Structure 1
Amino acid sequence: MAASPASVESVIRPLGSCLTKLGFEVYPLKVGWYNSVLPPSLHLPYPDDTLAVVVLSTPAMFEQAFLPFLEQRGIQKLCDPVDQCVRDCVSTAVSQKMFGVCIHPSFGGWFAIRALLVFEDVTVGSELVQPAPPDCVPSREDRIKLLEAFNFRWQDWSYRDTVPPAQTYSERQKEYFSTAPALRLALLRTWGLLPEEEVQPDLSPDEQSQANGHG
C-alpha cells in the first residue's frame, strides 16, 4: 500500500527533530526511485512504493554527534567509528517512542493529574452524561508541534504554553519539578521546609551492634 502524505510526515518529522540537532539531514524517497538507478544485484527487496529515508551528514555532525559519541560510548574494534556513530544516532531516532500529552483548556500544560477516586458503593445511571473533551489544540500542525515539544524539548517548558495559560507554575515550583526526584527532599531542606537530616557518626561494628540492640 502506498504511503499517504500524512504517514510520510509522521515519519519524517520525528526523525528530523532527533537527527537535525545532531548535524544530519533526512529526505524521504520511494524504494522504487532507489532501485531504478542501481543494478538488480543491489536492489532493495521491497515494493516500489515503500517509504525510505536517506540520512545525510553535514559539517556540523562531527562536533554535534561524532565527538560526543566517542566521549560517551567509545568504539568497537574493527569497525569504522563514524559508521558506529551514525548507526547509534539513527537507531535511537527510529526507536524513539512518541508519548501523548494532556492539555488543559485554561492552564495549558501547567497542570498534572494527581488522583482518581473510585466510589465502589455508588452507581450512576443516565443522569451522568459523558462530556466531549474540549478541543484545545484543533489544528493538526499545532498538535504536531505540541507532541514534538513534549517529547523532545520537555525540559524547556515550552509545550505547556501551547494554550495561553491563565496561570503558570511559580519559579519555586519550576525549580522543584526541574530537580531530579531523588534530590527533591534535599531541596525542600534547603528551603527550610523539612528538618535537616541527622548525621550519624561513624561507628565500629561492635558499636553499631550495640546501637541496634544486638550487643
Structure 2
Amino acid sequence: MDPTLSPGEAVVAYLRARAPGLPAAPFDPRAVTARARRALRRRNRLRNSAVSVAGAGLAYLMLALAGPLPVPGVGPVSLPGSNTLRAVIADFVPGAPPGPRRWPSDVDRLEKEVLPVIEELRVFYYVPESDTCRILEYSRGQFGDPGCSDLMALDPEARADFDRVTAAVKRSGVAVERIFRNGGICVQVPDSSWQYNYQYVYKPGPDMPPETRWPGEQWTHIRGDWWFHRAHDD
C-alpha cells in the first residue's frame, strides 16, 4: 500500500485494484467530513428552532388562559386572542366557568325564571348547598338549617319560599352556587378555581363597567343590565 496515501485514499485504491472496471470517482475525505458537519449544524438549528417555537407557544397558552395579568404602571393586560381561547377551553374543561358563548342563553333563562322570584321575595342571600344545609335570607328574615348556620331554623313558610327559588333555578338550567346582592343581583356559578369567583350580575344602571378593586378583577358586558364578573375568591 502506498504510504503517501491517506487512509481514505488507500481504502479506495485497494478496492479499485480488486475491482477492475470500477469507474474512477474522486474521493475527498475532508469534503465528506465538512458536508457531514454542515448537515449536523442544519439539524441542530432546526431542532433548536422547533424547541423555541414550542416553548413560545406553550408560554402564550399559559398566559392566555391565566387571563389579564397586572403590569406595574400599566394595569391588567390581556394577550390578544385570550378571551376567544378561554371561551373555547371553557366548553371542554370540567370545572371551568361558562364561556362567553353560553352567557347570552344563560342570562335569558335567569331573567325569565329566577330574577322574578328573587325580586318578588326580595332575596338577599340564597345557598342551595344541599338538602341538609339550606340558607335563605330575605324579606321575612334570615333562615338556615340547624347544624350549618346560626340562623333561625326554616319555618314552613321560609321552607316553601326556599323551594320556590330552588325550583326557579332548576327551571333555568343554570348551575348556581349561590345568589346574593352586592350592588346588584349576583348569581355565582360553580367552578374549580382557587383564585376567582365567577358570577352573572344583574345590575340596572349606566352601560358602563363598575370600578374594579383588585388586580385580575374583570367585568364583561353581556347585554342590557347583565354582566359577567370575575372576582377574587372570598
Give the number of the structure whose alpha-carbon radius of gyration is greater: 2
TM-score of the aligned structures, taking structure 2 as reference length: 0.18
TM-score of the aligned structures, taking structure 1 as reference length: 0.19
Q: Which has the higher strand share?
A: 2
Higher relative contact order (CA 8 A, sep 6+): 1
Q: Which has the higher helix share?
A: 1
